[in-house]
Structure 1
Amino acid sequence: MNRSYHVCALSDQKKARNMETEISKVDGVQKIKISKDLKEMQIKMENEKTPAVMERVVNICNRISNGCEVRYKFT
């Protein structure tokens, strides 16, 4: 399942790449991409693992970029 998320308070590309690297290792994540403007994250993941994946994603984002928030993007 592909999902898009708004990313708030992500300050630089280096942190974004670190997030992508760590998130890509989370069980259930098939693909992760953070936009160049650092405002959107797209994650392809196994549908049944979505809650567990997103719990880890939120923790990783907050740890790498203190105060970073991830919000589901309704389309």
Structure 2
Amino acid sequence: MHRSYRVYSLSDRIKARKIQRELVKVDGVKTVKFSEDLKEMNIEMEAGKISAVMERAVNICHRISYGCELRYKFI
């Protein structure tokens, strides 16, 4: 399952790479990609693990880049 999220208050690419490396280690996550402007993140994950993955993603983003927020992007 593929989900897109708006990313707010992510300051630089180094932090984005750290977030990406940690998220790929989360159970159920297949791939994580950020847009060029760091304002969107796409996560491919197993369908049954969406809520667990997103809880971890929010915590990881906030810990690495203080104030960073994720919001689901409705298409």
**Shorter-chain TM-score range:** over 0.9
Question: Which consecutive residues of structure 1, in runs of 5 or more, have no partner in the other structure?
Answer: none
The ranges of structure 1 where at least 4 consecutive aligned residues each deviate by more than 2 angstroms after the TM superposition are none
Counterpart secondary structure, 2:19: helix
Normalising by structure 2, we get a TM-score of 0.99
Equivalence map 1:1-75=2 (5 Å): 1-75=1-75
Work out the percentage of aligned pairs sharing the same amino acid.
63
Q: Whole-Å Cα distance in 2 between the matches of residues 49 and 2 of structure 1?
A: 12
Deviations 1:15-62 (A, max 9, x none): 000000000000000000011201000000001000000000000000
Contact 1:11–1:65 at 8 Å: present in 2 too? yes
Question: Which consecutive residues of structure 2, in runs of 5 or more, have no partner in the other structure?
Answer: none
Normalising by structure 1, we get a TM-score of 0.99
Q: Whole-Å Cα distance in 1 between the matches of residues 43 and 20 of structure 2?
A: 10
* Structural RMSD (CA): 0.4
